[in-house]
Amino acid sequence: MNAVLTVARRELGNYLNSWWGWVVLALVLLFDGLAFNVWAVGFSPKYSAEVLESFFEASTVTVLIAGVLLAMPTIARETSSGTMTLLQTSPITEAQVIAGKYLGALGFLSLIKGLTLYMPLMIELNGKVSWGHIGAGYLGLFALGAATIAIGIYASSVSRYQMLAAILGGSLVGLFLLMWLVSRGAEPPLKDVFGYMAMYDRHFQPFMRGRINTESLVYYASVSFGFLLLATRSLKARRWM
Amino acid sequence: MIEVSNLSRFYGRFCAVDDVSFSISDGEVVGFLGRNGAGKSTTLKVLAGLLTPSSGTVVVDGVDMTDAPTGFRQRIGFLPETPPLYDDMTVRDFLSYVGSLRGMSAGDLPRRIDEVARKTDIADRLDQLISELSHGYRKRVGIAQAILHRPKLVILDEPISGLDPAQIREMRRVIRALAQESTVLISSHNLHEISATCDRILVLRKGALVREPDGAQDPVAPTIGGLAGGPARHHVALTLRGDGPAIEQHLKDSALVEGQSLKVGPELVLAYVLMHEDRVEELVEGLVRAGFGVRRVEDGLSTQLEDVFLDLTAEAK
């Protein structure tokens, strides 16, 4: 566990000490701020719950993009700079490396999203929001971000270049998002399978409406675990290449 | 202490390392020599735990690489040709990070960092960013990370590549000092460097170990195996003009000469001479007085080693 935390601390410090981390942070806050004012609050009267729902809906965009961008360098940068050798010759397992990278990236994304908390609280100024709704929405964002980062880390583990990792990671996330579209054109039982795999449509919407959906939490945990396992396998395979 | 048995490594169908076996005792500094593509780097990567062998075993300090991979890597320190460093960290932070990765206790780490910093002569650079370091210092930080966790085996891949003469001299001292607490395995293209630094040399050709000099039975042993024994000044390579048998007889009769090896060409004679003492001037004077032409006098050790290296690594005809 110490090795995992050591890698996670290094990863988190890397975001905080690099322009890259701060650029992602600034862009997320900027976009979320604009989306809150223009999209969520809007220019016509709304119920507070509707404002909050729209805010969480818009926030998914930044979670998905930031998730891919934060995961992009995790392994690919170490590979291209040669420092992966340091990790691979250290007495730690591939699973510990991946877990550390994952925790670091997820921690930073959580930090960024935590900084947007003032927006839903502002709704209290002219309305009334439930803490349960806020909690469920952020839990959904966290789960969505966790799955996105896991996909991004897998993409980073199979790419030597960060840009390639971003393209691959973005494509995979895009594929999972568009599963709802695929399910529309499919016949049962594939329709249900594709529908279940859709990352946003079926699984995130309950959270943004303030409901904690256990089935969706299991889905996000499964996607995260599956891609982290693939990333671990990818690192292990390097010893055979 | 380090036992490598029947080690092979394939890349697809290409055999990069072919049934290599050798052993290294505690505290030895062993050189790994071979032409480009001979399988040196692959062998070192396997020994460092970076690559899995296709077959064979590697045991360090009683720990088998395949049975206990993390325990095995705990016993290895590895410096690749390009040191794996994080440019955004200070040297101290980097070494702390590496120490934590290798399970060193927070209490032991600061003291050990100071210790390896003194050993590798980077104590005055500990709080400097790695991106600001010169090539020579980067190599030293690379060695510092490799020895930080007190490994049983330190593997250095081309540790002197890209260093200037002053840095090479300093690096040589650092490497010799490593042998006090670890066994050291060095790969280098620089034959002179190998001769000056190593106790013993392993030569690879096309993935196979050519031979491991192990004593008098081996015809090359006096040349390679004995490198660590006598200081380089006792070996001299002479390029002479004169009759080959006459030169051979003259050297045999000389009280200064302990052993000799001659290569007689159409015009010149190349003589490798092992002397009892460093009295090269007297030897040359004797040859001139006997009427032989002395065209060139060289450090015999590196010249002879290069000759042996080329012989050993030459393609079989």
Q: Kindly list the domain boundaries of chain B, sorted by start residue.
A: 2-211, 232-313
**Chain A interface disruption, residue of B52, B101, B102, B141, most A CBs within 10 A:** B101
pLDDT, tens digit (0-9, with 9 covering 90-100), for B15-69: 999 999 999 988 888 888 877 778 888 999 999 999 999 999 999 989 999 899 9
Checking if the pLDDT of B230 tops 50, the result is no
Tokens standing for residue B109: 């780490």
CATH architecture group of domain B2-211: 3-Layer(aba) Sandwich (3.40)
> What is the full DSSP assignment across B130-166?
GGG--HHHHHHHHHHHHHTT--SEEEEESTTTT--HH
Count of other CB atoms within 10 angstroms of residue A38:
11
Checking if the pLDDT of B226 tops 80, the result is no
Within this chain, domains B2-211 and B232-313 share the same CATH topology = no
Checking if the pLDDT of A241 tops 70, the result is yes
Alpha-carbon torsion, ordered A92, A93, A94, A95, to 10 deg: -110
Judging contacts by C-beta atoms under 8 Å, the chain B residues touching residue A88 are 49-50
Give yes or no for A151 touching B (CB within 8 A). Answer: no
pLDDT tier for residue A224 given thresholds of 50, 70 and 90: very high
Partner residue opposite A82 with nearest CB, options B82, B97, B98: B82
Q: Which residue has the tokens 């839990």?
A: A139
Closest CA to B224 of B207, B209, B239, B245: B209
Average pLDDT over residues A161-174: 95
More reliable by pLDDT, B102 or B278: B102
Checking if the pLDDT of A191 tops 90, the result is no
From the number of C-beta atoms within 10 Å of its C-beta (0-12, 13-18, 19+), residue B20 rates as: buried
**Chain B interface disruption, residue of A4, A86, A88, most B CBs within 10 A:** A86
A126–chain B nearest CA distance, Å: 46
Q: Are B50 and A6 a contacting pair at CB < 8 A?
A: no
A3–chain B nearest CA distance, Å: 5
B194–chain A nearest CA distance, Å: 25
Give yes or no for A88 touching B (CB within 8 A). Answer: yes
Rounded CA Rg of chain A: 19
Q: Are B80 and A85 a contacting pair at CB < 8 A?
A: yes
> What is residue A137's predicted lDDT score, i.e. its pLDDT?
95
Q: Are B88 and A14 a contacting pair at CB < 8 A?
A: yes
Q: Kindly list the domain boundaries of chain A, sorted by start residue.
A: 2-238
For residue A189, is the peptide bond before it cis, meaning its omega torsion is within 30 degrees of 0?
A: yes
pLDDT, tens digit (0-9, with 9 covering 90-100), for A5-25: 999 999 999 999 889 899 999
Q: Could you tell me which residues are beta bridge partners of residue B60?
A: B2, B63
> What is residue B167's predicted lDDT score, i.e. its pLDDT?
78
Checking if the pLDDT of B221 tops 60, the result is no
- B242 Ramachandran zone, left/alpha/beta (phi>0; psi -120 to 50): left
B238–chain A nearest CA distance, Å: 45
* Chain A, window 181-200: residues with a beta carbon less than 8 angstroms from a chain B beta carbon: none
- Across A48-82, b (16+ Cβ under 10 Å) vs e yields bbebbbbbbbbbbebbbbbbbbbbbbbbbbbbebe
pLDDT, tens digit (0-9, with 9 covering 90-100), for A12-65: 999 998 898 999 999 999 999 999 988 888 888 888 888 999 999 999 999 999
Give yes or no for B71 touching A (CB within 8 A). Answer: yes
Q: Are A6 and B100 a contacting pair at CB < 8 A?
A: yes
Judging contacts by C-beta atoms under 8 Å, the chain B residues touching residue A89 are 48-50, 73, 76, 78
Residue type, A42: G
The interface predicted TM-score (ipTM) is: 0.88
A4–chain B nearest CA distance, Å: 9
Rounded CA Rg of chain B: 22
> What is residue B208's predicted lDDT score, i.e. its pLDDT?
86
- Across A116-141, b (16+ Cβ under 10 Å) vs e yields beebbebbeeeeebeeebbebbbbbb
Q: Would you give the DSSP letter of residue B125?
A: G
CATH 3.30.70.3100 fits B232-313, yes or no: yes
> How many angstroms separate the most distant Cα atoms in chain B?
72
Going across the sheet that includes B55-60, the strands are B14-24, B2-11, B55-60, B63-64
- As a whole number of angstroms, the distance between CA B69 and CA A236 comes to 12
Q: Sort strands B183-187 and B29-34 into parallel, antiparallel or unpaired.
A: parallel
pLDDT tier for residue B314 given thresholds of 50, 70 and 90: low
Helix or strand holding residue B293 (H, E): strand B293-299
Contacts of A28 by beta carbon, 8 Å cutoff, 6+ apart = A62, A66, A112, A113, A116
pLDDT tier for residue B225 given thresholds of 50, 70 and 90: very low
Q: Are B84 and A83 a contacting pair at CB < 8 A?
A: yes
Checking if the pLDDT of A178 tops 50, the result is yes
Q: Would you give the DSSP letter of residue B129?
A: B
Average pLDDT over residues B197-225: 61
- As a whole number of angstroms, the distance between CA A151 and CA B231 comes to 60
Q: Are A2 and B52 a contacting pair at CB < 8 A?
A: no
Count of other CB atoms within 10 angstroms of residue A189:
8
Q: Would you give the DSSP letter of residue A112?
A: H
> What is the full DSSP assignment across B155-224?
EEESTTTT--HHHHHHHHHHHHHHTTTSEEEEE-S-HHHHHHH-SEEEEEETTEEEE---STTSTTTTTT
- As a whole number of angstroms, the distance between CA A204 and CA A132 comes to 16
